Amino acid sequence: MKATGFEVTTGVGGNGVVAVLRNGRGPTVMWRSDLDALPVKEETGLTYASTVTATDDTGRQVPVMHACGHDIHMTTLIGLARGLKALQARWSGTVVLIGQPAEERVLGAEAMIKDGLFTRFPRPDFVLGMHVKADLPVGVVGYRAGPAFANVDSVDVRVYGRGGHGSTPHLTVDPIVIAARIVLTLQTIVAREIDPIEPAVITVGSIHGGTKHNIIPDTVDLQLTVRSYTDETRNKLLEGIRRNIAAEAEGAGAPKPPDVTVGESTPATVNDPALVERTVAALKKTLGDDRVTEVPPIMGSEDFTYYGRAGIPAFIFNLGTVAPERLEASRLPGGRPLPSLHSSQYAPQREGSIRGGVRASLAAVLGLLGTPS
């Protein structure tokens, strides 16, 4: 970014990067690219597959890869910077390009904002971003006005029991049985307490308890992901989780109520409709109508939402990364499903994805900047 001619600041909000290019009077447009990888061992078989390891929060050495396509995002960021510099005579205004850390933990956007992203640097009139999509043809752009990504809450639960020997369960309060009942009863919240046409998900992704076949433990830990689109549904889900978990523990005679902690969370990402309309027009003009398509909202999460919640019109769109023939083959009867994001086998079609990302990002940003007077 420095070599391209941008003013670059590092260490913003942790590992964030902010690059600014001023080019006369006009709008200020920010483009966000996320940087982080995931603790997944790459199994794509590619010659450039990641072999990197890192130390996680528990001190373990883990393999890491860009299983969510953030390497495409970063490459696009560099291509966008070079393109804006090369086309500097055609636009006026200010561009702020950011590399954002910790998107996967929904922490990075807030950290950069709290570290002065909108006060230490030019405050944008618009914020744009892009994320790869694992079920869209390479180079095709997908967009959604309004809600596009879900509210997400991570919930940690500890169930308390009274441990003992597996041969005398009547002398214990078995937290494994309580946990099993909790897993089943949580499913009734979505099925029986939420409006059927309102999107909602409760998934128990982790359950840990016990050490040996014949030992009833004192505690069991569960980890949940909870997803919704409206604040009303989000509150209903979390209240229902607390109520049902407490009821199961009390019904089993647990020695004390469970601990229920809401941890990493992010609100729904809502794309500004007016900005979507304007940007989609610019994308269609550059890419062609057949390369820009509306896509449904998903239950995935994005901390991109915090830029819009700062009172700035914001829009994040998708970039297709799958070769058309692979996509068609996956849709045939008996076809092999495509690797999803976060899969160890997810591999964007490299050249088409990079070219598509740079063209789309340039079209979107230039569509919002002014013209030289």
Largest interatomic CA distance in the chain: 86
Q: Where in the chain is the domain with CATH 3.40.630.10?
A: 7-148+268-366
Q: What is the pLDDT of residue 264?
A: 82
Backbone angles phi, psi at 49, to 5 degrees: -60, 145
Query: Is the pLDDT confidence value at 318 over 90?
Result: yes
Do residues 318 and 141 make contact, with C-beta atoms less than 8 angstroms apart? yes
| Mean pLDDT value across the chain | 96
Q: Please state, for a pLDDT cut of 90, what percent of the chain lies above it.
A: 95
Structure letter (DSSP) for residue 25? S
CA 297/CA 227 separation, integer angstroms: 12
- d(CA 92, CA 285) in angstroms, rounded, equals 20
CA distance 199 to 301: 14
Kindly report, residue by residue over 265-275, the tens digit of the pLDDT: 889 999 999 99
**CATH for 151-266, options being 3.40.50.740, 3.40.50.2300, 3.30.9.10, 3.30.70.360:** 3.30.70.360
Residue-wise pLDDT tens digits, 23-37: 999 999 999 999 999
pLDDT of residue 323: 94
CATH of 7-148+268-366, one of 3.20.20.70, 3.60.150.10, 3.30.43.10, 3.40.630.10: 3.40.630.10
For 83, 148, 261, 269, 277, the CA distances from 294, given in Å and listed in that order, are: 26, 11, 37, 16, 11
Q: For 56-77, write each residue's pLDDT tens digit.
A: 988 999 999 999 999 999 999 9
For position 331, what pLDDT does the model report?
92
Look at residue 8 and tell me whether its pLDDT is greater than 90. Answer: yes
- The predicted structure's pLDDT at residue 35: 96
- CATH 3.30.70.360 occupies which residues in the chain? 151-266
Distance CA 353, CA 357 (A): 6
d(CA 54, CA 173): 40
Per-residue confidence (pLDDT) for residue 373, from 0 to 100 = 78
What does the pLDDT read at residue 199?
94
Mean pLDDT of 316-336: 94
